[in-house]
Structure 1
Amino acid sequence: MAYLLYITYNQLGILFLYKHLFYEVSHMKRYPIRLGNVDEVTAFVKAVNQYDCDMDLCKGSVIIDAKSFLGLMTICPDADLELIIHNNDHKEILDTLSVFLLDQKTA
């Protein structure tokens, strides 16, 4: 009986994880940005840290936390990146980061 309960509990966990991942994928938007030098990286990190939502930066197959100065310095400066915002309400974020955006279209 305990074994059956464990399987049921495990399946619920997998179902919850699938639902959470589906929600995350359906609510993230991607925007191309460019960071040209260390000063721009510093300004970008300060601007991004004002918000509570998760944001990542992608360069090829490398994904880093957009709020991490050290992480950004490993793939920057002078790099074309893709900003991934994990939030539905991102218009205010885009207004703040408009200096760094290459294009307003979602990828």
Structure 2
Amino acid sequence: MVKLTVKIVSMQDADKFNKLCSKFDCDMDLQSGKYYVDAKSIMGIFSLDLSKPLILNADTDDEAKVKETFADFVGEE
């Protein structure tokens, strides 16, 4: 399991983020507080408060690939 703090600031960012998540074969969830949504669901992403940092939970052991893929979205940890 790879956990990464990410920041999505615009609708274009959300769309790009969603498309990147869809390229992975593993489960990917976004967490905002106590809420979890499927990161491969654009509607799920928009249901979260995007003004706050989000936690990406990727069910994979390839931490390097996840960090490289989402480098543009990495927020403050």
Q: Same fold (TM over 0.5)?
A: yes
Count of residues paired in the alignment: 77
1:98 and 1:76 map into 2 onto residues whose CA distance is: 21
Matched, 1:93 2:37: no
Q: Is the 8 A contact 1:33 1:101 kept in 2?
A: yes
Ranges in structure 1 where 5+ consecutive residues have no aligned partner: 1-27
Which structure has the larger Rg? 1
Matched, 1:77 2:50: yes
1:55 and 1:93 map into 2 onto residues whose CA distance is: 10
The corresponding residue for 2:5 is 32
Q: Deviations over 1:50-98 (max 9, x none)?
A: 1101111000000011111000001143331001111111311221110
RMSD: 1.5
TM-score (norm 2): 0.89
Q: Is the 8 A contact 2:32 2:54 kept in 1?
A: yes
TM-score (norm 1): 0.66
Overall identity of the aligned pairs, in %: 26
Q: Runs in 1 of length 4+ with deviation above 2 angstroms?
A: 76-79
